[in-house]
Amino acid sequence: MVVDKQKIRKLADNLAESEVRGRSLWADARHRFLRNRAAMTGLVVLTLVVLFSIAGPWISPWNYEDIDWDVLEDVATLGRPSLENGHYFGTDDLGRDLYSRVIQGTQISLMVGLIGSLIAVVVGTLYGAIAGYLGGRIDGFMMRLVDILLAIPGMFVLILLMVMFGRSIVMIFIGIGLLSWLDMSRIIRGQTLSLKQKEFIEAAVATGVRPLTIVTRHIVPNVLGIVVVYATLLVPGMIMAESFISFLGLGVQEPQTSWGALINEGTKTLQHGMEWQLLFPLGFFVVTLLSFYFIGDGLRDALDPKDR
Amino acid sequence: MLTFILRRLAIAIPTILIIIVLSFLLMHAAPGGPFSADRKLPPEVLANLEAKYDLDKPLPVQIYNYVKRIVVDFDFGPSFKYKDQTVNDLIASGFPVTLTYGFWSFVVATLIGVGLGIVAALKHNSWLDYLATGTAILGSVLPNFVMAPLLVLLFTVYLQWLPGGGWEGGQWQYIIMPVIALATSYLASIARITRSSMLEVLNSNFIRTARAKGLPSRTVILRHALKPALLPVLTSLGLSFVGMVTGSVVIDQYFSTGGIGQHFVNAALNRDYSVIMGVTILVGSLTILFNLLVEILYAWIDPRIRY
């Protein structure tokens, strides 16, 4: 019998192909996320804001610390937003270009948000996973500590830290990082408690894997979905905390600035009719935070479709 | 029930004590004492001052004395900055103000938030739902320090309806803006929580049963759906409470209302240890007690919780 080699090969190809390509949980989630219009809009807007904070300085003739002496004699009229003199967002009451100031503030606020949540994610995940995995007395002690720290209003502690150890960006990171992991650790502990009962953890224990390795290799990857969602929702919280502190004048100090500090400066010139000095930073603040919330909500729906 | 309350109290009271000790240690660790600022004092004077404020004793004795004074006499000691005022005086002058606008914000946030949430859930996917959800989402990115200047811009600068700050013994014109500024973001989160929990309850079996046996819609919602739907809201009230107390710092600073937040910021800037500690301890204890209250209420209302 003559074997039609070509046909056989075709059949083999077909067989290989028709093997149903399973969609992983992550691929499913990505699909759901991409179809979520609000989340995608949020992502686009956020990308634009980030691009603006990186590329913005290139199209401005002004630097964030230069003072435009020409507008100083009458800032309320000459300092208006205009394309002609290059102050796209106007100037602040000291004659500095607001566009450049907003870019600078955006950079710092975004950085605080990202680094703050990073600290929260790393510390909170490890702490919660260890407490949940070890259980018993250690768990009780670790969680009691979290309860106590949570009972102290965080903002008060943050203000105290800033006052005691000097107002600097580093102190903001430390302060916000110190406070923000608490909720995270609670959530992760709860997840770990239920994961602990699963067979694959039992198998790992039975084969003699060390506890710390079990936590980092088996538990942490399995709570990653929740971590991602929670981290996205944490970023706006961090930005808000920093802005809160800077609004009070206790956070980022001149010549550096952030959205909170800019909003604070903007409130002081309201009665002189310089609304733009308030509204531009405030607009950036609101729009960016909104997009973070939409992305976070979209991620949650995508990764955990049961929970609405 | 009584044992439940007692057991909770047995946890809450040591927590408050720990907060007192922790805040004491934190302030103790701070570089720069209250008398190290302006000009150098002669050593004898400094020694006298330190003796007066207990600063020359060993640390454990200081802590013990401090805790004892607070717990037994409810006395937070003298202010380090203002010689003629005690911390109790400052708290007594600021607390009623904070309590007044705090209370009204709490009422506004809870009532409107719950109302919006319920309407959104009942008219699921209608324009009313979208309106309510949209308000809730927008509100969640409008914290007090964003709302306050926006309100002033609208009501004071443009419309000139309301005064831009001050308290004047709490007349209504002075209360409106602080209350709205403080309430907005909590109103939003309460509305979101109410909506999602109401939706979940409306889809549950016992509601279907209630409808199936022919109860009118109003009875189904008021008698059967509302109570379980509001339980998650109750838990979130604890968080709102903390947020509002913290928000008073911004409100007092921005509207010059003279509440407890203003004393706190001033004290922090002046390194006025006793005032800072007093306010922190007071707020921390109130938070714990409030959460305790919420927990007891929760256990009392929810028959599924065994205590």
How many Cβ contacts (< 8 angstroms) between chains A and B? 107
| Cβ contact B268–A293 (<8 Å) | no
Mean pLDDT in residue range B194-205: 89
> To 5 degrees, how large is the angle CA B190–CA B191–CA B195?
115
Residue A15 reports pLDDT greater than 70? no
Nearest Cα to B10, choosing from A149, B306, B2?
B2
Number of Cβ within a 10 Å radius of residue A273: 12
Distance separating alpha carbons of residues B53 and A81, to the nearest angstrom = 55
Q: What does the pLDDT average to over B121-150?
A: 88
Quote the Cα angle for B8-B10-B13, to 5°.
105
Locate A167 and state its tokens. Answer: 């107002």
**Tens of pLDDT along A205-226?**
899 888 888 888 888 888 887 8
pTM for this one? 0.81
- For tokens 């914000």, the residue is B105
Average pLDDT over residues A136-145: 86
Distance CA B304, CA B307 (A): 10
Domain A45-307 has CATH 1.10.1060.10: no
Which residue from B140, B150, B280 is facing A156, i.e. has the nearest CB?
Answer: B280
Phi, psi of B174 (to 5 degrees): -85, -15
What are the Cα distances from residue A28, in Å, to A146, A232, B56? 35, 19, 66
- Beta-carbon separation of B284 and A151 below 8 A: yes
Q: Any idea which of A108-122, A254-268, B45-59, B103-117 has the lowest mean pLDDT?
A: B45-59
DSSP three-state, residue A185: helix
Candidate ranges A286-295, B43-52, B64-73; pick with highest mean pLDDT: A286-295
- Contact of A142 with chain B, judged by CB distance below 8 Å, is answered with no
Q: How far apart are CA A183 and CA A177, in angstroms?
A: 12
Using an 8 Å CB-CB cutoff, list chain A residues near B254.
267
Average pLDDT over residues B258-283: 82
Residues with Cβ within 8 Å of B134's Cβ and at least 6 positions away in sequence, in order, are none
pLDDT of residue A18: 54
Residues 6+ away with beta carbon under 8 Å from A223: A125, A129, A188, A191, A192, A195
Which is nearest to A229 in space by CA: A294, A282, A185?
A294
B143: which chain A residues are within 8 Å (Cβ-Cβ)?
Answer: 240, 243-244
* Interface touch A160/B276, C-beta < 8 Å: yes
SS3 A97: strand
Question: What's the confidence (pLDDT) of residue B113?
Answer: 92
DSSP alpha helix (H) spans, chain B: 2-29, 43-52, 59-68, 87-122, 127-140, 144-151, 172-202, 205-212, 217-219, 226-255, 260-270, 273-301
Burial of B244 per CB tally in 10 Å (0-12, 13-18, 19+)? buried
CB A116 within 8 A of CB A238: yes
Collect all residues of chain B within an 8 Å Cβ-Cβ radius of residue A241.
Answer: none
* CA distance to A8, A9, A124, A136, A257, per residue, from A180 (Å): 62, 59, 8, 25, 22
Candidate from A150-164, B84-98, B130-144, B152-166 with smallest mean pLDDT: A150-164
What pLDDT is recorded for position B306? 63
What is the chain A residue with the closest CA to B148?
Answer: A267
Go through chain A and tell me how many residues it has: 308
Q: Does A140 touch chain B (CB under 8 A)?
A: no
What is the predicted pLDDT for the residue at A291?
92
Q: Is B284 a residue whose pLDDT tops 70? A: yes
Alpha-carbon distance of A261 to A256, in angstroms, equals: 9
* Separation of alpha carbons A88 and A60, rounded Å: 8
Identify the burial level of A244 via C-beta atoms within 10 angstroms of its C-beta, where 0-12 means exposed, 13-18 middle and 19 or more buried: buried
What are the residues whose beta carbons fall under 8 Å from the beta carbon of A10, sequence distance 6 or more? none
Tokens of A165: 């150890």
Q: What is the reported pLDDT for A47?
A: 92
What pLDDT is attached to residue B111? 92
Rounded to two decimals, the ipTM of the complex is 0.80
Q: For residue B292, what are its two tokens? A: 């305790």
Instruction: Report the percent of chain B where pLDDT is more than 90.
Output: 7
pLDDT of residue A307: 46
Q: Compute the distance between CA of residue B177 and CA of residue B148 in angstroms, rounded to an integer.
A: 7
What are the b/e assignments for A111-128, b being 16+ CB within 10 Å? bbbebbbbbbbebbbbbb
Tokens for B243?
Answer: 């947020």
| Cα B62 from Cα B66, distance rounded (Å) | 6
Answer yes or no: are the C-beta atoms of A103 and A56 closer than 8 Å: yes
Angle of CA points A204, A207, A211, to nearest 5°? 50
Mean pLDDT of B226-246: 82
Position A287 confidence tier, pLDDT thresholds 50, 70, 90 = very high
In this predicted structure, the answer to whether residue A308 has a pLDDT above a threshold of 50 is: no
Quote the tokens at residue A144.
């009691």
Q: Which two tokens stand for residue A83?
A: 């394309």
Q: Helix, strand, or coil here: B258?
A: coil
**Mean pLDDT of chain A, nearest integer:** 81
Closest residue to A286, CB basis, from B30, B142, B269: B142
Mean per-residue pLDDT over chain B, rounded: 82
